[in-house]
Amino acid sequence: TFEVVFVGRSNVGKSTLLKNLTGRNVRTGKRPGVTLKPTHLYFDDFLITDMPGFGFMSGVTKEKSDDVKDNIVHYIEEHADRIMIAVQVIDGPAFVEITERWDSRDEIPIDLELHDFLEEMEIITIIAANKMDRVKDDEKDDLLNDVVGIFGYDRGEGTWKESGALVAPVSARGGDIRPLISHLKNEFHKMKRDDLFKHF
């Protein structure tokens, strides 16, 4: 099995993105944050896993939200041998503000913790910066420069494109997900699994 996992806090547009990418519905009427378990999409020996959304949600206690994070970490540890790629979905325009809020409380944002964890697990991680339709064209590069900086990539004098981070600015609702598709295609190719591309 070749597995790709999708992670991200609630409401970043993960379901919309998966629907766009695969044509299949991942979540049917489940309330965000209430689901603790991953959802699977099967394509022969190719598996796409939608991890539960994490972070604070109205009507969900802090304990439950920590449970979601623990479940994600355990799942990834348990299946590390077959998880080849992670797509970490963030709400592009909201991301900087969310991490600043965490910073002011001296907590490590779950997104960053998870990104570091995926790196430790040697899982190739693509950052899908979603909702980019909400960002003005001339502000997109600045935002993405901040995003890679927050994730800890050193871009030197360059932009996010030179940082080494795999960043895909997308708009799932607008159906503009080409940057994510090209990153996936590229990684499949490097792993000699070009055949998997037919599923998108």
| Residues found near ligand GDP in the complex (CB under 6 A) | 8, 10-16, 32, 53, 130-131, 133-134, 171-174
Nearer to ligand GDP, 164 or 175 (CB): 175
Q: Name residue 119's amino acid.
A: E
Q: Which residue is nearest to ligand GDP (CB)?
A: 13
CB of residue 168 to ligand GDP, shortest distance in Å: 12
Q: Measured from the CB atom, is 26 or 188 closer to ligand GDP?
A: 26
Considering the complex, state which of residue 40 and residue 189 has its C-beta at the smaller distance from ligand GDP. Answer: 40
- Comparing CA positions, the residue from 108, 93, 89, 98 lying closest to residue 49 is 89
Give the nearest distance from C-beta 174 to ligand GDP in angstroms. Answer: 6
**Tokens 């998997």, located at residue:** 196
What would the two tokens of residue 149 be? 């900086």
For ligand GDP, give the closer residue by CB, 131 or 183.
Answer: 131
Which residues make beta-bridge pairs with 48? 4, 41
Which residues have CB under 8 Å from 67's CB, separation 6+?
36
